[in-house]
A and B are shown apart, each in its own frame.
Chain A
Amino acid sequence: MSAHASHAPAPNRSGLWDWLTTVDHKKIAILYLIAGGIFFLAGGFEAMLIRLQLMYPESSVIGAKTFNEMITMHGTTMIFLAAMPVIFALMNAVVPLQIGARDVAFPFVNSLGFWLFFFGGVLLNTSWFLGGAPDAGWTSYTTLALNQYSGRGVDFYVLGLQIAGIGTLIGGINFLVTIINMRAPGMTFMRMPMFTWSAFITSGLILFAFPAITVGLVLLMFDRLFGGNFFNPDAGGNVVIWEHLFWIFGHPEVYILILPAFGVISEIVSTFARKRLFGYSSMVFATALIGFLGFMVWAHHMFTTGLGAIANTLFGLATMLIAVPTGIKIFNWLLTMWGGQIRFTTANLFAVGFIPTFTIGGMTGVMLAIPAADYQYHDSYFVVAHFHYVIVGGLVFGLFAGLYYWWPKMFGKMLNETLGKWNFWTFFIGFHLTFFPQHFLGLMGMPRRVFTYLKDQDLDVGNFISTIGAFGMTIGTILFLVNCAVAAKSSKRAPADPWDGRTLEWSIPSPPPEYNFAQTPLVRGLDALWIEKMAGNKGMTPAEPLGDIHMPSPSFLPFLMSLGLFIAGYGFMYHVYVVVAIGMLITFACMFARSIKDDPGYHIHEDEIEEKGVKA
């Protein structure tokens, strides 16, 4: 490759400009983490206001209107702007390293995906200052979400999520191609680490799920902004179409969220038990099966819509089937730990805490899958408790575990273990205090999305405990932030392999050089690094001689392209078509420039690689 490419000098990059133009997957991972983290704090703040409002009966801390905005923005922010980007942060930081690649397949697209998500999220959140946030719930059901019943906020929801959604979609395609085409020699599919497998299947789900929400949002946009009648029953429209499109996306989405967490837990449980993952091939099979079944069950969110007994039965049965591959995973994690030399680091505490918590969430999921019973649970706090057990107790525990585990690889610094353990226990206890009582609140009849309740209906104590628990989670989150700050200030460098790891990312320095691997490694089996360790080798066997490394150039275009759509979004909302034209012009001009101007990239020379102290 180097034979014919021109030698542009390595670009000069510094400070902010570097971050705005980077196409390095490791830096994009950090961008995703910071942006996702900020949105996580915003969503958490909204959650605290919700809990304060519900702490006592008949309270008026924020009032009904603001409460509706809070629940809508809490759900939307946490799912689309916090959970998804932090997952993408881990995928970007880890997947290329685990498969022995120098970069992702499309570094430019990777950066574009981030900036689209970022600007979409910012657009959505500017609604707070421009006439009120969306207030039709995170599912934005029509007709409630139509103009007659909801304010301008829903326009922000529609356009913000469309922009962010395109970013997620192209991010998914990027990881699919990366994993299929960029694996190091010897890294067959059945030798891929479990986290990479889960990233692969999650990306597949993104590819086939996100277009459905895109269409749903386009239809809603037409109805709200251009006089369409998709969801207007007076003109022949049908509100159930929105429910279908939303959940055809929405149910795969929850597996998009949880599968990477499964991957993280698999890596951590295995590393800290010093054992190979029990039942690796059944884990791969179970992950694929969950991904497949995830598309077959969307209507279990619609049991009370009135689709009929046959549809409800089939979707109920398909939903229960998912318990089988999930159960396989739970037993495999337990059997991985069985007889292992377990180290309870913070990462492993989160992983071990995940298992029973997620199992409880899965169990209430099977309860909800029974259509007849669901008529009782539907729209009650039982549902709220269920999905917080799987999303917080599952995904967020998994993300914390993953962050404690890969932090040294991402930043070159170790997080403090003592603070980490405080973080775990406050968050873990706070979580269960918050959500366990909600099961019973729901069974006693407390509906979701209602801003207050009367006193002396047996709902007071449960709600009070729930709010106290939310403070525990807040303290846990603050301790995590303190831990990040302490790590950033510390001058102690993390070693390349702090946990006695098993996979390729631990065979290179922390943080890795921009080209990741000086020489592409040769993979000789599952747990590639562990095999070399057991064979008494000092590191991976290289699969190629040391040579010049070709790198893609940084680019400001992804930022500008996303900015263009961001500007156009406001034009659509306020019907100012000059602004739409300006925004789209920026975006299309950038696409034009990208198409005609080839990126020759630049080279890192062989001697430079050796100078940087990477062993040959």
Chain B
Amino acid sequence: MATHQANAVLPDEPEKATLEGKNKVLGFWLFLGGETVLFGSLFATFIALRDQANGGPTSQQLFDMPLVAAATLILLTSSMTSVMATLALHKKDLKKIQLWLTITVLLGLGFLALEIYEFVHYVHEGHKISTSAFGSAFYTLVGFHGGHVAFGIIWIILLQVSAVKKGLTVVTAPKFYLASLYWHFIDVVWVFIFTVVYLMGMIGGKVG
């Protein structure tokens, strides 16, 4: 622990204070660029297949606005709380970081619970990955996002627990910062899922 004593006075923007930190921030932005292509490909596939219900339930029959709206509200709020954590990071206030991240994690868990409930409900309605091309595309896209949320929750909890011992240093600050970037990214993806999958799925029938 002697390693971190010298960091008692943290520099401004501690996440980018060292070359390692700068590398991590840049590398993570690039990684998110790759993730964008990943989700872009999934979206394109979904759009191509969303009307192919193969006699199974269609999106108009399945989707339920209140549930999805609640999930959206929860996830977007968690995006704000993760910003609050980053702001606290810039004020070098570990207690506030922990507080805001805890709220973020709780909201994330709430979102996941709703999503799991939603999936179970759909399966009971006969909407499975093997029902139709629409089913495959839906679960893959939304499930990929859900998997990202779950990974983010575990990651943030891990960072929170290890920060109790390590404190806020130039080593831990970039990790908090990246987790927050990641969390934003998956929220932005959700905005597109909400629009492309749910809103477009609820209005109108087949295009063309």
Which one of B27, B42, B135, B136 contacts A215 once the chains associate, using CB atoms below 8 Å? Answer: B42
Given A4-B6, A169-B34, CB of A230 within 8 Å of CB of B137: yes
A residues whose Cβ falls under 8 Å from a Cβ of B: 1, 3-6, 105-106, 109, 169, 173-174, 176-177, 180-182, 207-212, 214-216, 218-219, 222-223, 226-230, 232, 235-238, 241, 244-245, 248, 592, 595-596, 598, 600
Known A211-B37, A214-B38, A228-B129; further 5 A-B contacts with Cβ < 8 A: A3-B6, A177-B30, A237-B136, A238-B52, A245-B45
Tell me whether B129 and A173 are in contact (CB under 8 A): no
Q: Which of B35-52 contact A (CB under 8 A)?
A: 35, 37-38, 41-42, 44-45, 48-49, 52
Q: A177-B23, A180-B26 are in contact. Are A228 and B7 (CB under 8 A)?
A: no
Asked whether any CB of chain A lies closer than 8 Å to the CB of B130, the reply is yes
Closest 10 CB pairs of A and B: A236-B52, A227-B130, A4-B6, A236-B133, A211-B38, A215-B41, A228-B136, A211-B37, A105-B23, A236-B54
CB distance A227 to B2 under 8 Å? no
Query: Please, could you name 22 A-B residue pairs with CB atoms under 8 Å apart, sorted by A?
Result: A4-B3, A4-B4, A5-B3, A173-B34, A182-B23, A207-B34, A209-B37, A211-B35, A211-B37, A212-B38, A216-B41, A226-B129, A226-B130, A229-B132, A229-B135, A230-B49, A235-B132, A236-B49, A236-B53, A237-B133, A595-B158, A595-B159
Asked whether B162 is an interface residue with its Cβ less than 8 Å from the other chain, the reply is yes
Q: How far is the CB of A306 from chain B (nearest CB, A)?
A: 15
Partner of B45, one of A106, A209, A219: A219
- Report how far A12 CA is from B190 CA in the complex, Å: 48
Residues of A within 8 A of B31 (CB): 173
Task: Give every chain B residue within 8 A of A106 (Cβ-Cβ).
Answer: 23, 27
What separation, in Å, do the CA atoms of A241 and B53 have in the docked complex? 17
Contacts of A600 in B (CB 8 A): 3
Cβ-closest chain B residue relative to A597: B162
The CA-CA distance from A219 to B6 in the complex, in Å, is: 50
Identify the closest chain A residue to B128 (Cβ): A227
Task: Please give the distance in Å from A398's CB to the nearest CB on chain B.
Answer: 26
Known: A6-B3, A181-B26, A235-B54. A229 touches B136 (CB 8 A): yes
Label chain B's interface by main secondary structure: helix
Q: How far is the CB of A592 from chain B (nearest CB, A)?
A: 7
B171 at the interface (CB under 8 A from A): yes
Could you tell me if A229 and B133 are in contact, using CB atoms closer than 8 angstroms? yes
C-alpha gap A610/B133 in the complex (Å): 66
Q: Per-residue 0/1 for B145-180: is the Cβ within 8 Å of any A Cβ (1 yes, 0 no)? A: 000000000010011001000100001000100000
**Residues in B whose Cβ lies below 8 Å from that of A592:** 158
Which A residues lie within 8 Å of B4 (CB)?
A: 4
> Do B41 and A245 have beta carbons less than 8 Å apart?
yes
By the criterion CB–CB under 8 Å, are A208 and B175 in contact? no
Within 46-72 of B, Cβ neighbours of A (below 8 Å) are at 48-49, 52-54
Q: Which of A169, A177, A211, A230 contacts B136 (CB 8 A)?
A: A230
B133 & A238 in contact (Cβ 8 Å cutoff): yes
Return the contact of A211 from the options B2, B34, B162, B175 (Cβ within 8 A). B34
Taking each of B4, B34, B140, B175, which has the highest tally of chain A beta carbons within 10 Å of its own beta carbon?
Answer: B34
B19 interfacial by beta-carbon distance below 8 Å: yes
Which among A169, A181, A248 is the interface contact of B41 at CB below 8 angstroms?
A: A248
Question: A173 vs B31: C-alpha distance in the bound complex, in angstroms?
Answer: 7
Q: Mark B115-150, 1 if CB is under 8 A from A, else 0.
A: 000000000000001111111110010000000000
Which residues of the partner chain A approach B95 to less than 8 Å between Cβ atoms?
none
Question: A600 CA to B20 CA in the complex, in Å?
Answer: 12
CA separation between A226 and B139, bound complex, in Å? 12
Least distance between B18 CB and chain A CB atoms (Å): 7
Residues of A within 8 A of B204 (CB): none
Q: Is the CB of A232 within 8 A of B133?
A: yes
Give A166 to B73 CA distance when docked, in angstroms: 33
Contact A210 B34, CB 8 Å, known A232-B133, A237-B49, A596-B158: yes
Q: Which residue of B lies closest to A235 (CB)?
A: B54
Residue B33 lies at the interface, judged by CB distance under 8 Å to chain A? yes
Instruction: Tell me which residues across on chain A come within 8 A of B140, comparing CB atoms.
Output: 218-219, 222, 228, 230
Q: A215 to chain B: which residues have CB within 8 Å?
A: 38, 41-42, 45
Closest-CB distance, B30 to chain A (whole angstroms): 5
Complex-state Cα separation, A404 to B70, whole angstroms:
63
A215-B45, A596-B158 given as contacts; is B129 within 8 A of A222 (CB)?
yes
Q: Which chain B residues border A181 with CB–CB below 8 Å?
A: 19, 22-23, 26
Measured between alpha carbons, how far is A236 from B45 in the docked complex, in Å?
Answer: 12
